[in-house]
C-alpha cells in the first residue's frame, strides 16, 4: 500500500457505522453488513472533481461516478479462478491480451443497449450467473448531489426524510431539464460558495429559472407553484450549506466512497484497482478500538476479479446513463421497445441484479434521488409502474 506524505490521521467510524446501519435497516431490515465476503472494485466516469467551468459542467450530467464490481463468497474463489480461461475462450480473447476490460466485451463507445445486446456481453452475464458471482455498486448522482444543499439550507421538514427527498428530487427535475439555465446561475454566484449578501438574489434567480422550466414530467410540473412558494417564503434565511465552500467545485473528490464499504462491511475484505491518489488519502480507520486493515489496492493485470469488475462497473455506468434521460411516464414501455438481442441481454442483467439483491440488498448503494430509484426499480422488475 502506498504511503502518503501527509500527516497520518486516525478516524473512528464506530458511531457512523452504527447510525448508517440503523438508517438503512429502517427501510430494509434484511440488509446484512456483517457478511464475510470478498469485494472487488473498479470505477467508471471518474471526473476527479465535479465542477462548473466556462459555463458548463465538466462532465455530462448523465455520466455519474460508479464504484463497484464483483463480490463472491470466500469459499467460491478457487472455483471461479479455475474457470476463468473458459470465459476467455467464450469471449474469444486473444492470447496476447493479458488483461480483459470492458472494451474487449463491447466495442469502445457503445451505448448501453448496444453493449448488452452483443453476444460477448450476454456470454459474460451468463458466466457470472453460472458461477454465483454477485455484483455490488455505489453510484454518486452528481447533479442530484449538486442541489441537495439548496434544499437543506432553505427548508425544514421536521425530520421527514421522505418529504425532504421528494423536494430534493423535485428541484433536481427542474435543474436536470433546464441545466444550461441553472448552471449559468451557479457560475454567476460561484456556487456552492455564495456570498451571504448575494443569497437572496441567488434564490430569486433560481425562482425565475424554475418558473421558465416546463419541459418535465407532469408528475413534477404540477408542484411548480408550490416549489416557488417555498423558495419565496424561505429565501431570506442564511444559506448555511452554501457558504464557506470552494468556488464552483461541487464534488471535490470521490475517495470517501472507497472508505464506506471498508467500515460498513467490516468482516469482508476489499480489493481496489490501484489508484494512487485515493491510496494516499486513506487515513487510518478505527472501528471499536481496532485499526481496519481489511483492504488493499492491487494492479488489475494481476487479478482476474478486478478485471471482471472493470467490465461490470463499466456496464453499470452505461445502465445509469441509459436510465437517467427516460421520462418517468415512459419507463414502463422501455422493455417492450427492445429487440430480441437487447431483450436477452437485459433479462440476463436483470437476473444478475435480482440474484445479487437476494443475496444481500446491501450490495446496492444508490442515490437518494427518488425519480432515479423509481425508474431503476420499474425497469429491473422490483416494482410495478403506478
pLDDT of residue 9 exceeding 90? no
DSSP codes joined into one string, 184-236: HHHHHTTTTS--GGGHHHHHHHHHHHHHH---S-HHHHTTHHHHHHHHHHHTT
pLDDT, tens digit (0-9, with 9 covering 90-100), for 95-144: 888 899 999 999 878 899 999 999 999 999 999 999 999 999 999 999 99
**Are the C-beta atoms of residues 59 and 183 closer than 8 Å to each other?**
no
State the pLDDT at residue 2.
32
State the pLDDT at residue 109.
81
Candidates 235, 286, 231; CA nearest to 263 is: 286
The chain-wide mean pLDDT, for the chain, equals: 93
pLDDT, tens digit (0-9, with 9 covering 90-100), for 189-248: 999 999 999 999 999 999 999 999 999 998 899 999 999 999 999 999 999 999 999 999
Candidates 33, 34, 65; CA nearest to 49 is: 65
Q: At what angle do helices 340-359 and 119-130 cross, to 10 degrees?
A: 30
Greatest CA separation for the chain: 66
State the pLDDT at residue 204.
98
State the pLDDT at residue 220.
93
State the pLDDT at residue 262.
97
The whole-number average pLDDT for the span 141-150 is 96
pLDDT, tens digit (0-9, with 9 covering 90-100), for 88-102: 999 999 888 889 999
Give me 265's grid cell. 462491511
pLDDT of residue 258 exceeding 50? yes
Task: Name the least confident of 24-28, 129-133, 345-349.
Answer: 24-28
Dihedrals phi, psi of 128, to nearest 5 degrees: -60, -45
Cis check: omega of the bond before 192, within 30 degrees of 0? yes
What's the full length of the chain, in residues?
A: 386
The whole-number average pLDDT for the span 38-52 is 95
Burial class for 203, CB neighbours closer than 10 Å (0-12, 13-18, 19+): buried
Paired with 12 in beta bridges are: 286
Handedness of CA 52, 58, 59, 64 (dihedral sign): negative
State the pLDDT at residue 6.
42
pLDDT, tens digit (0-9, with 9 covering 90-100), for 70-93: 999 999 999 999 999 999 999 999
Residue 160 CA neighbour count, 13 Å, CB half:
10
State the pLDDT at residue 281.
85
Domain boundaries defined on the chain: 10-142+257-379, 160-249
Give me the percent of the chain exceeding a pLDDT of 90. 86
* pLDDT classification of 161: cutoffs 50, 70, 90: confident
* pLDDT classification of 5: cutoffs 50, 70, 90: very low
State the pLDDT at residue 385.
86
State the pLDDT at residue 158.
84
State the pLDDT at residue 272.
97
Candidates 18, 81, 40; CA nearest to 268 is: 40
* pLDDT classification of 44: cutoffs 50, 70, 90: very high
Task: Name the least confident of 8-12, 13-17, 22-26, 89-93.
Answer: 8-12
Amino acid at each position: 500500500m502506498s504511503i502518503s506524505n501527509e500527516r497520518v490521521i486516525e478516524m473512528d467510524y464506530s458511531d457512523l457505522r452504527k447510525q448508517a446501519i440503523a438508517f438503512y435497516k429502517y427501510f430494509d431490515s434484511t440488509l446484512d453488513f456483517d457478511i464475510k465476503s470478498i469485494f472487488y472494485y473498479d470505477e467508471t466516469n471518474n471526473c476527479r472533481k465535479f465542477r462548473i467551468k466556462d459555463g458548463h459542467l465538466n462532465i455530462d450530467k448523465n455520466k455519474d461516478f460508479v464504484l463497484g464490481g464483483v463480490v463472491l463468497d470466500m469459499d467460491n474463489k478457487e472455483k471461479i479462478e479455475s474457470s476463468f480461461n473458459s470465459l476467455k475462450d467464450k469471449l474469444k480473447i486473444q492470447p496476447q491480451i493479458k488483461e480483459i476490460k470492458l472494451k474487449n466485451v463491447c466495442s469502445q463507445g457503445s451505448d448501453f443497449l448496444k453493449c448488452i445486446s452483443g453476444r460477448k456481453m450476454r456470454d459474460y452475464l451468463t458466466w457470472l450467473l453460472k458461477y454465483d458471482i454477485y455484483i455490488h455498486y455505489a453510484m454518486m448522482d452528481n447533479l442530484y448531489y449538486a442541489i441537495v444543499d439548496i434544499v437543506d439550507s432553505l427548508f425544514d421538514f421536521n425530520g421527514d426524510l421522505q418529504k425532504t427527498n421528494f423536494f430534493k428530487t423535485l428541484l433536481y427535475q427542474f435543474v436536470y431539464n433546464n441545466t444550461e439555465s441553472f448552471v449559468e446561475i451557479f457560475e454567476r454566484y460561484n456556487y456552492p460558495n455564495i456570498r451571504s449578501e448575494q443569497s437572496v438574489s441567488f434564490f430569486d434567480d433560481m425562482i425565475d429559472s424554475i418558473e421558465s422550466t416546463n419541459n418535465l414530467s407532469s408528475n413534477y410540473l404540477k408542484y411548480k407553484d408550490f416549489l416557488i412558494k417555498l423558495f419565496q417564503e424561505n429565501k431570506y434565511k442564511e444559506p448555511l450549506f452554501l457558504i464557506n465552500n470552494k468556488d464552483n467545485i461541487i464534488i471535490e473528490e470521490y475517495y470517501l466512497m472507497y472508505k464506506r464499504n471498508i467500515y460498513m462491511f467490516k468482516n469482508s475484505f476489499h480489493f481496489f484497482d490501484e489508484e494512487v491518489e485515493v491510496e494516499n488519502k486513506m487515513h487510518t480507520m478505527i472501528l471499536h478500538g481496532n485499526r481496519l486493515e481489511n483492504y488493499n489496492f492491487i494492479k488489475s493485470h494481476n487479478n482476474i476479479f478486478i478485471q471482471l469488475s472493470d467490465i461490470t462497473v463499466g456496464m453499470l455506468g452505461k445502465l445509469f446513463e441509459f436510465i437517467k434521460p427516460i421520462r418517468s411516464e415512459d419507463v414502463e414501455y422501455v422493455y417492450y421497445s427492445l429487440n430480441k438481442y437487447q431483450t436477452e441481454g437485459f433479462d440476463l442483467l436483470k437476473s444478475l441484479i435480482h440474484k445479487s439483491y437476494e443475496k444481500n440488498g446491501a450490495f446496492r448503494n444508490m442515490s437518494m434521488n427518488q425519480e432515479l430509484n423509481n425508474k431503476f426499480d420499474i425497469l429491473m422488475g422490483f416494482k410495478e409502474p403506478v
